[in-house]
Structure 1
Amino acid sequence: MNLQMIETRFILLLAGTAAIFAVITLLLHIFFRKRRYIKYIPCVFTLAFGIYNFVLAFTVETIGFNDIGKAILGIISMVGFTASLVSAVLFDIFAFKK
Structure 2
Amino acid sequence: MNSLTVIDIKESGNTGDSWNMFRGNNQRTGHYLYSGNSECSVELGDVNGDTIINILDLVQMANYVLEISTPTYECAADFNQDGAVNILDLVQTANYILEN
Structure with the higher strand share, 1 or 2: 2
Same fold by TM-score greater than 0.5: no
Instruction: Please identify the structure whose Cα radius of gyration is greater.
Output: 2
Higher relative contact order (CA 8 A, sep 6+): 1
